Amino acid sequence: MQPSEKMTPLEMRTTVSLALVFALRMFGMFSILPVLAIHAQSLPGGSMPLLVGIALGIDGLAQAVLQIPFGLLSDRYGRKRMIYIGLALFALGSFIAAGAHDIYMIILGRLVQGTGAVAAAIIALLADLTREEHRSKSMAVIGMSIGVTFGASMALGPALNHYIGVSGIFALTGVLALGAIFVIRFVVPTPQISRQHADAGTVPSQILGVLKNTELQRLDFGIFSLHAAMRGLFVVVPLLLLNVGPLPVNEHWKVYLPVMAISFFAVVPAIIIAETRGKMKPVFCSAVGLLTIATLLMAMMVNNFYGIVAALFLFFLAFNLLEATLPSLISKIAPAGSKGTAIGVYNSFQFLGLFLGGTIGGFLAQHASHAAVFAFSSGLCLAWLLLALSMEKPPAVRTRMYHVGYALDEQKARALSEQLSALNGVNEAVVIADEGVAYLKVSMGDWDEARARELIEKGE
């Protein structure tokens, strides 16, 4: 019996509603980026770029520390319970920041926001409610929702600042987080059984092995550098646009909207070429090189409004392409049964990059110059480029997951793994008895799927 090629109504409802939860949570976090540095100038302590950088990045520190524990606690205490707690903390932090009268309270509010590190728990909930063969589609929808939300937030942040101010944006963020709780409670289905999923959650016993994988280390350093550069950028770019450009802050959307929209759609052909023609490494390395050039241009153009805008476009062209290709590379490189752990470690480095990017960017802006912030980012990107050029060519594979149609013990799981690994076009196969799931890495060309399905569904 072949599994349905279409998602069920429950799977569609789960995917759309959890994508909405991510969007509601992320909108407030992203929309504050283009306006916080400007708003901070009017607050006690806000004229110190170091404190502004800490305010911009402190949520990343909390998420780096807590996102894996939140996911593991959701295995034990329930997905929805941990998500409620996380969203409530996020809302609390938003309201603290909304009522802040100095930069220190904004830092506190942003820190509390970061303690609501629910991303891993939400992905685990998604895994509980979707079948293995459709999970990658659901993940793609959520990834797309985050990307669209990021672009929309960049454009809408300055406009919202004009009408409701930064305090209003923080308050709106808190309200949206409470709305996300409503969606989780009344729209997202409740799973009958919650269990650990090797493709979507972190397995503690696998963390050391993932950290030792040199190819994954390159990608972890990459996502760290990418988000450090992005968060450092927002310490100074809003001020540069205001100080050297013709636009008041409420019209900065005229910069961010075309930059984000054009760069978002412009990367689609490159993504298609990378994935379908086996050109992932050259496309990836080109994007890292472009990121290096963009940050160098920013360092050179700090007094030129149009130069800053052009460099900003190149930066987000590279940023959007890398945001799309890095998760794909993780999937291709990570061992078949360790994908979820690899993504968990990768996300932790991403959040750590947000914190250190904001903090170091603020320190350099305060004690050196605005150009020094971009020079630091360029140095990170150059180091990443050297690592990317020396990485092995990513295998032309894709991951497939199947529910095993008969009872398994460890011996049967090992035997099935060996049978699947021997099939034509199967590069790697891991069967996990506790999950009753087979994880396969298969050639992007032909592979013996019919025989694989036969073994997985019925055995011999």
Which of 365-383 are b and which e, b meaning 16 or more Cβ less than 10 Å from the residue's Cβ? Answer: bbeeebbbbbbbbbebbbe
Residues 285 and 351 in one domain: yes
In-domain check, residue 54: yes
Q: How far is CA 60 from CA 17, 29, 115, 226, 380, in A?
A: 25, 11, 9, 13, 18
Residues 447 and 359 in one domain: no
Residue 187 belongs to domain with CATH number = 1.20.1250.20
User: How many separate domains does the chain show?
Assistant: 3
Residues 449 and 409 in one domain: yes
The arithmetic mean of pLDDT across residues 287-298, rounded, is 98
pLDDT of 273 > 60? The answer is: yes
The CA angle 274-330-190, to the nearest 5 degrees, is 115
pLDDT of 275 > 70? The answer is: yes
- The confidence score (pLDDT) of residue 1 equals 38
CA 50, CA 122: separation in Å to the nearest integer? 33
Question: Which is nearest to 108 in space by CA: 95, 124, 127?
Answer: 95
Residues 215 and 79 in one domain: no
Tokens encoding 137:
């589609």
Question: Which is nearest to 285 in space by CA: 313, 326, 316, 330?
Answer: 326
Query: Which tens digit of pLDDT belongs to each residue from 79-103?
Result: 999 999 999 999 999 999 999 999 9
Q: Could you say which of 341, 361, 394 is where a domain stops?
A: 394
Residues 386 and 264 in one domain: yes
Residues 137 and 224 in one domain: no
In-domain check, residue 434: yes
Which comes out higher in pLDDT, residue 334 or 407?
A: 334
Residues 269 and 300 in one domain: yes
Query: Which tens digit of pLDDT belongs to each residue from 25-76?
Result: 999 889 999 999 999 999 999 899 999 999 999 999 999 999 999 999 998 8
Amino acid code (one letter) for 296: L
Q: Domain range for residue 170? A: 8-199
pLDDT of 182 > 90? The answer is: yes
The arithmetic mean of pLDDT across residues 4-22, rounded, is 89
Residue 414 belongs to domain with CATH number = 3.30.70.100
The secondary structure of residue 205, as a DSSP letter, is G
Residues 6+ apart with CB under 8 A from 235: 37, 49, 52, 53, 56, 358, 361, 362, 365, 373
Residues 6+ apart with CB under 8 A from 326: 219, 222, 223, 226, 346
Percent of the chain with pLDDT over 70: 98
Contact 55, 106 (CB under 8 A): yes
Residues 212 and 358 in one domain: yes
In-domain check, residue 3: no
Residues 228 and 342 in one domain: yes
Sign, Cα dihedral of 411, 412, 413, 415: positive
Which comes out higher in pLDDT, residue 153 or 3?
A: 153
Amino acid code (one letter) for 88: A
Q: Which of 1-10, 166-175, 234-243 has the lowest mean pLDDT?
A: 1-10
In-domain check, residue 161: yes
Residue 460 banded pLDDT, cuts 50, 70, 90: low
Residues 422 and 450 in one domain: yes
In-domain check, residue 2: no
pLDDT of 459 > 70? The answer is: no
pTM of the prediction? 0.93
Q: Could you say which of 139, 166, 199 is where a domain stops?
A: 199
In-domain check, residue 182: yes
Residues 6+ apart with CB under 8 A from 57: 231, 354, 355, 356, 357, 358, 359
The arithmetic mean of pLDDT across residues 201-226, rounded, is 95
In-domain check, residue 220: yes
Residues 193 and 243 in one domain: no
Residues 304 and 189 in one domain: no
Contact 377, 229 (CB under 8 A): yes
Q: Could you say which of 199, 225, 259 is where a domain stops?
A: 199
pLDDT of 185 > 90? The answer is: yes
- The confidence score (pLDDT) of residue 2 equals 46
